[in-house]
Amino acid sequence: MKRILTALTLTAALASLGLGCRKPKAMDKGVSASELMATADTQMKQGKFTEARVTLRHLEQYLPGSPEFPKAKLLLGDSFFFQASPSYPEAEVEYTSFLNYFPRHELRDYAHYHRALCHFSAIESAERDQAETRRALEGFQALLTESPGSPYATETRAKILQCWRRIAEHELNVGVFYVNTYYYPGAEQRLKSLLETYPDYVDRERAYYYLGEAMRQRLLTGEEMLQFNKAFAAKLQKEDLKDLDKEQVAQYQKELTAFSDERIKSFRAEAKSYYQKLVESYPGSEWARRAADHLIAMGTSGVKEELDS
C-alpha cells in the first residue's frame, strides 16, 4: 500500500510540475491592431501593466505596419513609467525606441519629455554623482530645441532650472569638500569654474566664502614648482638642476623665495577680494560675518566699522 501511495504521489507531483511549466496560451494572431490597442488601453487603465505589455508586444511583433504601432510603442514606455514600482531604465529604452522609429512623429515631444523624466526621476542628492541630472538636462534641452511650442515646454523649463541648480550645488559641495580636506588648488579650480559656468544658479555666499578660504591658505603646488624649476634651468641653459654650483644654488634659492612670496601674496590678495565681495553683497549673512573676521585678521581696515554701522 505504501508503495502504491508513493507512486501515486509521485505521479501527481510530476503532473502538477508539468502543468506549472506549461506555457501560457498564445494570443490569436488574427486579432486586429485596433482590438489589441483597445485591450491594452483597458489593461493600462485597470493598472494591469504586465498584461498590457503582453498585448502591446503582440502588436509590436505581428502588426508593425499598422497605424496603431506608434501608439503601442509609446504605451510600452508608459507601462514601465506609470506602474506602481516604476522601472525608469526600461521606460527610457522604450521611449528611445519610439524616437528612433518615428523621429518626426507628432507625439515625439511626449516621448522626449518622458524620456528626460526617466533620468530626472533618478537624480541623486547633491552630494552624489550627477550623471542622471546631466542626462535629464540634455533630454529637456533637446525637447525645447525640437519643439519650443510643445505643451510640455513650461514644465520642461522648470525642470531645466532644477537641473542647473542641482549641478551647481553638487559642484559647490565638491569645492567645499576640497577646502575641508586641504586640497586648496583643486578647490580654487572647482569654485572658480562654478562661478563662471553657473552664475545664475550658484549659492554665491558659500562660493565666495570657500573660495576665499582656499586662496587664504593656498601655497605653491608641485606643478608650479616644476614650472619654476624648468624656467630657471632654461635661463642657465641647463636641462635640469642637478649640477648647480654654489653660486647658482644661492641664486636659485633667492629667486624661488621671491617667486613663492609673490605668488602667495597674490593668493592672499585674491582671498581678500572674495571676502570683500561677500561682505559687500550679503552684509547680513553669517558667511559675511565670517569673511569679515578673516579680513580683520588679514589687516583690512574699515571692515569692522562698516559692519557695526
278 plus 227 within the same structural domain: yes
156 plus 48 within the same structural domain: yes
40 plus 175 within the same structural domain: yes
What was the pLDDT predicted at 29? 58
The model's pLDDT over 48-107, given as tens digits with 9 standing for 90+, comes to: 999 999 999 999 999 999 999 999 999 999 999 999 999 999 999 999 999 999 999 999
174 plus 276 within the same structural domain: no
165 plus 207 within the same structural domain: no
Which set of grid coordinates corresponds to residue 11?
Answer: 505521479
Which set of grid coordinates corresponds to residue 3?
Answer: 508503495
What was the pLDDT predicted at 238? 87
249 plus 283 within the same structural domain: yes
Angle formed by the axes of helices 88-101 and 69-81, nearest 10°: 160
What was the pLDDT predicted at 50? 96
100 plus 220 within the same structural domain: no
173 plus 52 within the same structural domain: yes
In a domain? residue 67:
yes
217 plus 303 within the same structural domain: yes
In a domain? residue 107:
yes
Which set of grid coordinates corresponds to residue 90?
Answer: 526600461
Residue 191 Cα distances to 28, 62, 133, 220, angstroms: 63, 56, 19, 18
In a domain? residue 187:
no
In a domain? residue 155:
yes
**Segments of the chain scoring below 70 in pLDDT:** 1-30, 301-309
135 plus 255 within the same structural domain: no
Output the 3-class SS for 204-217: HHHHHHHHHHHHHH
In a domain? residue 276:
yes
What was the pLDDT predicted at 27? 54
Contact predicate 143/116, CB 8 Å: yes
CATH of the domain at 168: 1.25.40.10
In a domain? residue 198:
no
Q: What is the per-residue DSSP string for 78-141?
A: HHHHSSSS--HHHHHHHHHHHHHH-TT-TTHHHHHHHHHHHHHTTPPPTTS--HHHHHHHHHHH
Contact predicate 179/194, CB 8 Å: no
The count of domains in the chain is 2
In a domain? residue 191:
no
Contact predicate 98/114, CB 8 Å: no
Among 263, 281, 283, 270, which residue's Cα sits nearest to residue 214?
270
Q: pTM of the predicted model, to two decimals?
A: 0.77
What is the amino acid identity at position 133? T
The model's pLDDT over 238-252, given as tens digits with 9 standing for 90+, comes to: 888 888 889 999 999
171 plus 220 within the same structural domain: no
Distance CA 54, CA 72 (A): 11
173 plus 214 within the same structural domain: no
Among 174, 256, 193, 192, which residue's Cα sits nearest to residue 220?
256
Helices marked H in 22-87: 33-45, 49-62, 69-81
Provide Rg for the chain, Cα atoms. 33
Going 107 to 109 to 111 to 114, the CA torsion angle's sign is: negative
Q: Which domain holds residue 100?
A: 35-181
